[in-house]
A and B are shown apart, each in its own frame.
Chain A
Amino acid sequence: MSGPPPSAADASAGAMPADPDAGAEVLLQVDSVVKYFPIKSGGMMSRHIGDVKAVDGVSLTLRQGQTLGVVGETGCGKSTLARCIAGLVPITSGKVIFEGKDITNLSRRAMQPFRREIQMIFQDPYGSLNPRLRVGSIIGEPFTIHKTATGNERKRAVQDLMQRVGLNPEHYNRFPAEFSGGQRQRIGVARALALRPKLIICDEPVSALDVSIQAQILNLLADLQDDFGLTYLFIAHDLEVVRHVSNEVMVMYLGRAAEFGPKNDVYDRSHHPYTRALLSAAPAADPESAAARQRIVLTGEVPSPVNPPSGCRFHPRCPRAQDICGQEIPPLEAKAGDPHDHLTACHFPVPAGEELAGATRAEVRRAR
């Protein structure tokens, strides 16, 4: 062979190029995934009158043992993307490839073996545990469904898991209502861990917890990643949390990826005006630096995903937008001078080192 064979991802437009540096094996490949939720008129004879374009052509590659953080505002499609990958909602178009096997829109039965490999941790530690089941049944449910352990064996496995995630195994027979939010999230983690999956999709796993508990859960997730070689797809809207846990970061806006790359590239050398704005909006712990910081204040609201803007989704709110931005979709590509794995979808990327026009907090307040 004279060269590496082109992968499926290379063949399609907008896909991630394969990374020759990274030694780890590709675990998950998401290729131009599109998810539209149809809007139907009410009544008996419903007509298809539109779509909520929740995810509109997102590609990503995730390597064994890595953590990919996905950030974006509420409604940008990050949770839908997670559900598409986990096979919880059917995909409109595109492909999800797990360990080289196409798992796009498999039937429930065909998906079953992959369920053991791909697990989810949910956002709401109250809503994600059935209040009528005892903790033992909740954590043991994966064993029951996949018939991997029964009776005492199952109980022992569950108690091991409880121990592993920092719960008291004696609480096996308690109900979720008897636990705090952080403990409940540990129950959720134990359940996701039960089948020893390779990939865990964390859908805002700490957003509902208070800050001190967030740190505990994040540390637990990090420990588990080391011990079991887990790969995480970590979805959050908290930029600091994502920076803390991730190797790579994807910034999403209105169903599309705006920027993708190693976390330090995205955080410190971002090119996309939206990434800049998002980063500048994050609260800083130091009040002095926060006051001095240039805040980029975007005008307008996030457009509706039912009728998103043409071209670049961000152009109506972008301070750098020009005519072409409303006409052509900017490809997600490496910009000049960037490493090949730092990708930006922008016609007029902000050069590294250059500030996007902003205002300090005091100026913002005065302007209002």
Chain B
Amino acid sequence: MSITEVEFQAASAEAVPEQAIEGKSQWQLTWRRLRSDRMAIASVITILVIAMLALLAPAFASLTGHSAVQQYPNTGLSASGLPVPPGTAGFWLGTDELGRDLFVRILYGARISLFVGLSTTFMATVAGVAVGLISGYFGGRTDAVLARCIDAALAFPYVVLALALAARFGPSLPIVIGVITFFSWAGVSRIVRGQTLSLKEKEYIEAARSLGAGPWRIMFVHILPNLLGPVLVLATLLIPSAIVFEATLSYLGLGIQPPVPSWGNILNGAQSYYQVAWWYLVFPAAALLITTLAFNLLGDGVRDALDPRTERIFAGQAGGRKKKRRKAAAADEPAAAIAAGTAEG
């Protein structure tokens, strides 16, 4: 792989200048700084609103009287058989070509997106941290094998794998989650491995060894807490990339299958109709954009809060940068963001 090792400033270094009166942990200080970051707080609120909407999707379905998969050919389609625009006959955001309620479908799509985003990020982070820690700490042959596995996972063409799996097992939610996790853990591993390599040389690791601490204690008590900062940033940025990943797979027909709604497959349906029904394209795309933007901005805020010495790279124009970045290849996103952050620090 030509991607250079992403090296973080060790999270320990930032502990020095803080002069708190009572014992404030690094996390408490981080939380304080995050709270004063308006952009991050706005992102958190946005994410909470989206999460509420997703959770309350069944309530909205019963409120509108429309199910997510039910077709309403009588009320949901115009006389000429085209989707009806927003606000027509109780369809708040209009309908699709089969007369289904777009609003309800987007809400149900949000459930899938958030579920996929959070679950894959969780699994990828746990797996990535475990592999990275073990690889970096034990070194030697263990590291040689695991590092090659990381390279292999990063080198794999994900569309090809998804196609192969979808062809063999049929496209499904578990396959989507599996594929996304498979392509996300390696990035986490790389960073954790690099961090572990530098952290294990610290004198406090030697001190722990001289006290008789075993390798697992050293890894989980002494190394892991010191690399949670970078991992947290990475995880926050993995969520939007996983959401985009899921949308991409579903758009290509390799993910969530209609009639079950997902932002990806709604957008796929929209491409034939957006000329006559703009809402069909705009609303699901906006949902995807707002969600990923909010997670990305939150990730940036978390990074800034963890490392206050780093200036915001594009202070004041973060929004514009994020939109551009969303369109960039989803898988490379967290690494790129962190690389940019490191270059500054």
Residues of A whose CB lies within 8 Å of any CB of B are 44, 83, 86-88, 108, 111-112, 115-116, 119-120, 122-124, 126-134, 141-142, 145-146, 171, 173-178, 188, 191
Contacts and interface: CB of A to CB of B under 8 A. Distances in A.
A115 B203 contact: no
Contacts of A116: 212
B64 interface: no
Contact of A122 (B19, B23, B207): B207
A174 B20 CA distance: 9
B202 interface: yes
Given A87-B210, A128-B207, A191-B211, 17 more contacts: A88-B210, A115-B212, A122-B207, A128-B206, A129-B207, A131-B15, A132-B25, A133-B225, A134-B23, A141-B208, A141-B213, A145-B211, A175-B15, A175-B23, A175-B25, A175-B26, A178-B19
A120 B314 CA distance: 47
A177 B208 contact: no
Contacts of B19: 178
Contacts of B210: 86-88, 115, 119-120
B211 A178 contact: no
B35 interface: no
B16 interface: yes
B214 interface: yes
Interface string B205-232: 0111111111001000110011000000
Contacts of B222: 130, 133
A112 B24 contact: no
B207 to A, nearest CB: 5
Given A123-B203, A126-B16, A141-B208, A108 B23 contact: no
Nearest to A136: B23
Contacts of B20: 178
Contact of B204 (A108, A112, A128, A174): A128
A116 B211 CA distance: 7
B144 interface: yes
A366 B211 CA distance: 52
B170 to A, nearest CB: 40
Contacts of A124: 203
A94 to B, nearest CB: 20
B23 A173 contact: yes
Interface string B106-125: 00000000000000000000
Contacts of B217: 145
A177 B207 contact: no
Given A142-B211, A178-B23, A122 B206 contact: yes
A129 B22 CA distance: 18
A87 B211 CA distance: 11
5 contacts: A108-B212, A115-B211, A132-B12, A132-B15, A178-B20
Contacts of A134: 23, 25
Contacts, number: 87
A134 B27 CA distance: 13
A108 B214 contact: yes
B333 to A, nearest CB: 28
Interface in B267-301: none
B317 to A, nearest CB: 34
B23 A191 contact: no
Contacts of A120: 207, 210
A84 to B, nearest CB: 12
A145 B212 contact: yes
Nearest to B224: A132
A115 B226 CA distance: 25
Nearest to B12: A131
Ranked nearest first, the 7 interchain pairs of A and B with the lowest CB-CB distance are A127-B203, A115-B212, A132-B225, A174-B23, A131-B15, A177-B15, A128-B203
A174 to B, nearest CB: 4
A243 B304 CA distance: 49
Given A108-B214, A112-B212, A132 B23 contact: no
Nearest to B16: A177
Contacts of B206: 83, 88, 122, 128
Choose among A122, A127, A128, A130 the residue with the greatest number of B CB atoms under 10 Å from its CB. Answer: A130
Nearest to A108: B214
Nearest to A87: B210
B19 to A, nearest CB: 7
A131 B203 contact: no
A131 B226 contact: yes
B202 A127 contact: yes
Contacts of A175: 15, 23-26
